């Protein structure tokens, strides 16, 4: 297995959309598909990968906006993974209407993430990430830790010298800080943090320099 990460910054909210693929088998997943999904599909084709799953850290609209378009473009419908506690957001298209926006209703969830779950790129193959439950930004927020690459796909939990907002429904500042302490700062300092927006960082950098911590 030869894992590789591709980051694409897309859409009006400059979301970081990630592809995690195995160059050996060609299997790949997309994490938090935002707007401009044609860019994602073009990169998958360029890499020679086959996209089989969509992993969602949470269900706010800017992190799920492209799920429907990607699913319709594939010959076989992808598996869609989300934590059950964010299903409410998912059913209302991520709350896009609250911001005067509209996105296509995404496909039904088929993988129900839970804390500690080990997830493969293809069902029946060895797992590549560990699911880490990290509520606070939303009730069902999860992160994906890939030990083999020493990376954490952290969604909107923690940013470069910042943290996720907690003023939306289901947000909780004390809970978010607990999630960061328990599920982020418990990882080795060299672990790369790949957030939903902005620059990447490391656990060690945030431990020393994040003003919220």
Domain map (residue ranges) of the chain: 3-209
Q: What pLDDT shows up at residue 74?
A: 92
pLDDT tens digits for range 79-125: 999 999 999 989 887 777 777 777 888 899 999 999 999 999 998 88
Joined tokens for residue 136:
């606070």
| Third-level CATH fold of 3-209 | Metallo-beta-lactamase; Chain A (3.60.15)
Calculate the average pLDDT of the chain: 94
Please give the pLDDT value at position 2: 93
Q: What is the pLDDT along the chain (213 residues), one digit of tens a residue?
A: 899 999 999 999 999 999 999 998 999 999 999 999 999 999 999 999 999 999 999 999 899 999 999 999 998 889 999 999 999 989 887 777 777 777 888 899 999 999 999 999 998 889 999 999 999 999 999 999 999 999 999 999 999 999 999 998 899 999 999 999 999 999 999 999 999 999 999 999 999 999 999
């Amino acid at each position: 297995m030869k894992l590789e990460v591709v980051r694409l910054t897309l859409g009006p909210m400059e979301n970081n959309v990630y592809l995690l693929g195995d160059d050996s088998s060609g299997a790949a997943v997309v994490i938090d598909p935002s707007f401009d999904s044609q860019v994602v599909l073009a990169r998958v084709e360029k890499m020679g990968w086959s996209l089989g799953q969509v992993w969602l850290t949470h269900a706010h609209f800017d992190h799920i906006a492209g799920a429907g378009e990607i699913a319709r473009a594939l010959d076989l419908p992808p598996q869609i993974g989300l934590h059950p506690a964010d299903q409410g957001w998912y059913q209302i298209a991520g709350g896009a209407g609250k911001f005067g926006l509209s996105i296509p209703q995404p496909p039904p969830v088929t993988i129900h993430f839970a804390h500690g779950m080990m997830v493969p790129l293809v069902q029946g193959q060895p797992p590549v990430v560990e699911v880490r439950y990290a509520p606070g930004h939303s009730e069902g927020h999860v992160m994906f830790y890939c030990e083999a690459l020493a990376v954490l796909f952290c969604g909107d939990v923690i940013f470069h010298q910042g943290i996720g907002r907690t003023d939306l429904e289901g947000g909780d500042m004390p809970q978010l800080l607990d999630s960061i302490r328990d599920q982020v700062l418990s990882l080795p300092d060299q672990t790369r943090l790949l957030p939903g927006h902005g620059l990447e960082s490391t656990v060690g950098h945030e431990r020393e320099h994040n003003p919220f911590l």
